[in-house]
Structure 1
Amino acid sequence: MTAQTDALLVIGSGQQRYREYLLASAAERHPLWLIDAAEPTWQRPHVAGFSVVPLLDRARLVPDRERILATAEEIAASRRIAGVFTYDETMVTTAALIAEKLGLPGLTVDGADRCRNKHRTRSALTLVGLPQPRFALAYTLKEAREAAPAVGFPMVLKPRGMGASIGVVRVDDPAAFDDSFTMAEQAGHGGSPDYEGGVLLEEYMTGPEISIDGVCVDGVYEPMFIAHKQTGFEPYFEETGHVVDAADDLLTDPDLLHVLRSAHEALRVSTGITHTEVLFTERGPVVVEVNARLGGDLIPWLGELATGIRPGRVAAELALGERPDLTRTEHRTAGIRFTYPPRDCRVQEVSVPSVDSVEGLLRAEAIADEGTELRLPPGGYLSRYAYVVCAAPERTACERSLDEAAGGAHLTSVPLD
């Protein structure tokens, strides 16, 4: 029986559209206390209490960890804190710090940083002999030019600590290198100030890409579900869709499981939830990155629709130090497709199909309001005007429904100069 004074801390709540389902399912498992930068609105039905504190201190160019930690300690003085978790990429090391300071289950600060810092990730995985691209870290254009010959063309440039493929670009030859490095470096200033600056140069490797949301309990890794990623807008890597199949053969693939388990051990992820991106190359499965949180782009909801596993509840149970139940109660395929404008534009109107107009369509939502400026890479990222979510008994039918539903989303806009 949970005492009324118990609370599970949640650091940051994110956008309602993409994160409310996680907060709601976590709240079903345990009373939540939210620490966020503003008073809750849509979050109120899901939290037992809240504290308002700046999450980022831009004046000092660091996350305001001291203030967040002090707030957590104040809460701990009046009620028992049973655990702490976050699904916000910028807050994973902060949540780990609170867990360490208060003696709670979860990632260590070192483990969270090994995931958060892409250069540390690459170094740790290389050290244990996992297949990796050639890579180098550069903070200035001069350093990047000096490192480029050893990496070789074509290569991929990516900010040291961003997510969602923001600022990631393929460079095919030296002629495009300087501008691409500048773009990637500047994109790295849009996230956590702890990881501003620094661009990773990586050998370009080809193959289909997946993401795996999984759990670690006492150092033992287990996948929950796999999403097959769709990308577009070459030479950039904008994520345009994901498909999760409950019956995916890769869930039991021995080579993939070996790479995943070895990677989590090398990154010192002992207890927690992760979102790992893997590229299938001629060298075998290669880890692109490991994020110490649930996936974005509604991927965890796709996993829930396809398998019945509730990722928000799983995250809460891990934070409480419990072994989550990963039993599959659903066996189908679910997918999401994002729609993008054909050019940079200012939105006038967005329309989406009704859920009863396409077989398997579960949700269709406009996500760009009138007057919104949408700019395609490299001028902007995640410039979507709508998305559709579909489910079907098997993957072919799901893909067919996604094509039809996405084709029913329409944008009226004015081109931008």
Structure 2
Amino acid sequence: MATRALILLEGHRSVGLLYIKAAQRLGLHPIILAADPAQYDYLAAGSLEAIRVDTDDLDALIRECSQLRATYDIAGITGFSGLDESIYATVGKLCRHFDLPGPNPTSIEQCCDKFTQRQLLAAAGVPMPAYRLAADATEVESSATEIGLPVIVKPAVGSGSCGVRLCRNADELAEHTAFLLSGGPTCGSSPRILIEEFAQGPQCSADTMGNEVIAVGAADFDCPPHFVVRGSIFPALLTDREHKRIADVSLSCLRALDLAWGPANIEFRWTERGPVVIEVNPRLPGWTTPRLIQLAYGIDPIAEHLKLVIGEEWDLRRKHSQTAAARFLVPDRDGILDWIDGDSRAAAIPGVAEVKLYVEPKTPIIRKGDFRDTIGHIIAASPSRAETEAILQRAVDLISWSITPFPTLGEQKQSAAPHLPAPGQVTPVNG
């Protein structure tokens, strides 16, 4: 009898191993398709099967999956992206080709274009900030004038807050527009620019599976005028009425965007007029979110997603109720990381579920104003919000690091000057 296999398209590193372990717990043999399998260190460490293939080439993926079907019983195909929605569009196309359960690729592609997404949501009456699409600096300026400063300016295609900036005046607007038009951001950059009203208020998000809201969390950001996440917590501190409004708007988004299959994540700002939708992501979030949901509610969203992928019945019932929170470590300067420690002491604190550092000493730190600026995270959970926040703060206080700033231009010139020997000093000569 052929081994049941799950094909996983590469994506965000933060959740790849979680998908692999969940597949193994379900009795599946995971096979990873990646353009460069070597970048995922856990593949070699776990002796996992990985195949080098261009994951942007649909025909190449179809050929590879067809060859695998000669050896394995392919139970399902999915991706472990935590940021790149285009992976799920490709997954949807593969699933349709091989007659397997999967997302609607057309719906995913429409959702990936933030302007198209806005149009579909607006047509369905979903509350949103005012928005405009621009293709050049003149259109950006006129759009910002129509909406009124301050405005959010970002690429029409992208994720992870790459290229997203709050522009508070004309100078910031011109500067960031030039940056985007030059192809500045590297995460899904696009010459099409979206200008949006700055929706002010606490940020929260709803995570859905199928047409059910399984979790509502809150997040906070720092490093203005950029948006770098500092922490997140589940559940969000909402009244029953507020929670219901978030859930109702979330389901309206899923209907408007035809996302009734699989996971999705809807980001909100709670403003004076209630919740307004900032963005809909047609995928399960990466990073700490799956772990936080599992700790807070007893629901493993990755395992339940895989059950859907292989055609089995999922279970979205909550097993318990805790408060789970994450804090991200964000450096305050660029330079070379000299050292970072305290992670083992932080991990030993009761209630701390995970401490993870993303960098090692001697790593260059170059802040970009998005998710890539974080250098680690800590996760904690307990029966109460106050206790969880206290545990998290104790753990954060134990982590420390040192960064030596890059030399300034003047220092670089000085170091590049020829070194003259002191009087009486012998200068060695290499023969």
1:64 aligns with 2:57: yes
Pairwise CA distance, 1:263: 0.4
CA distance in 1, matches of 2:273, 2:153: 20
Question: Contact (CA 8 Å) 2:264, 2:281: kept in 1 or not?
Answer: yes
Change (3 A) 1:210 1:186: farther
The one-letter code matched in structure 2 to 1:100 is: R
The aligned residue for residue 20 of structure 2 is 23
Question: Contact (CA 8 Å) 2:218, 2:236: kept in 1 or not?
Answer: no
CA distance in 1, matches of 2:5, 2:118: 36
1:363 aligns with 2:358: no
Structure 2 unmatched runs, 5+: 409-431
The aligned residue for residue 414 of structure 2 is none
- CA deviations 1:217-261 (Å, max 9, x no partner) are xxxx11222221010001111111111139975698322121111
Q: Secondary structure at the match of 2:216?
A: strand
The aligned residue for residue 33 of structure 1 is 31
The aligned residue for residue 308 of structure 1 is 298
The aligned residue for residue 180 of structure 1 is 176
Q: Secondary structure at the match of 1:91?
A: helix
Question: Contact (CA 8 Å) 1:36, 1:53: kept in 2 or not?
Answer: yes
The one-letter code matched in structure 1 to 2:157 is: G
CA distance in 2, matches of 1:270, 1:181: 35
The one-letter code matched in structure 1 to 2:66 is: E
Q: Secondary structure at the match of 2:66?
A: helix
Pairwise CA distance, 1:283: 2.2
1:158 aligns with 2:154: yes
CA distance in 2, matches of 1:7, 1:111: 26
Equivalenced residues, count: 400
CA distance in 1, matches of 2:401, 2:32: 37
Question: Contact (CA 8 Å) 1:225, 1:251: kept in 2 or not?
Answer: no
- CA deviations 1:356-381 (Å, max 9, x no partner) are 65342222233221222223344x75
Q: Secondary structure at the match of 1:240?
A: strand
Structure 1 unmatched runs, 5+: 56-62
Q: Secondary structure at the match of 1:96?
A: helix
The aligned residue for residue 60 of structure 1 is none
1:265 aligns with 2:230: no
Question: Contact (CA 8 Å) 1:246, 1:331: kept in 2 or not?
Answer: no
The aligned residue for residue 421 of structure 2 is none
Change (3 A) 1:13 1:113: closer
Taking the TM superposition and a 5 Å limit, the aligned residue runs for 1:8-19 are: 8-12=6-10, 14-15=12-13, 18-19=15-16
The aligned residue for residue 42 of structure 1 is 42
1:278 aligns with 2:293: no
CA distance in 2, matches of 1:46, 1:101: 30
Change (3 A) 1:42 1:142: same
The one-letter code matched in structure 2 to 1:117 is: D
Q: Secondary structure at the match of 1:279?
A: strand
1:327 aligns with 2:317: yes
The one-letter code matched in structure 1 to 2:51 is: S
1:170 pairs, out of 166, 189, 194, with: 166
TM-score (norm 1): 0.88
CA distance in 2, matches of 1:201, 1:247: 30
Taking the TM superposition and a 5 Å limit, the aligned residue runs for 1:177-326 are: 177-185=173-181, 189-192=185-188, 196-216=190-210, 221-245=211-235, 253-326=243-316
Identity of aligned residues (%): 23
TM-score (norm 2): 0.85
The aligned residue for residue 81 of structure 1 is 74
Change (3 A) 1:262 1:187: farther
CA distance in 1, matches of 2:226, 2:32: 36
Question: Contact (CA 8 Å) 1:349, 1:411: kept in 2 or not?
Answer: yes
CA distance in 2, matches of 1:47, 1:188: 38
The one-letter code matched in structure 1 to 2:214 is: M
The one-letter code matched in structure 2 to 1:102 is: F
The one-letter code matched in structure 1 to 2:33 is: I
Pairwise CA distance, 1:394: 1.1
CA distance in 1, matches of 2:35, 2:65: 14
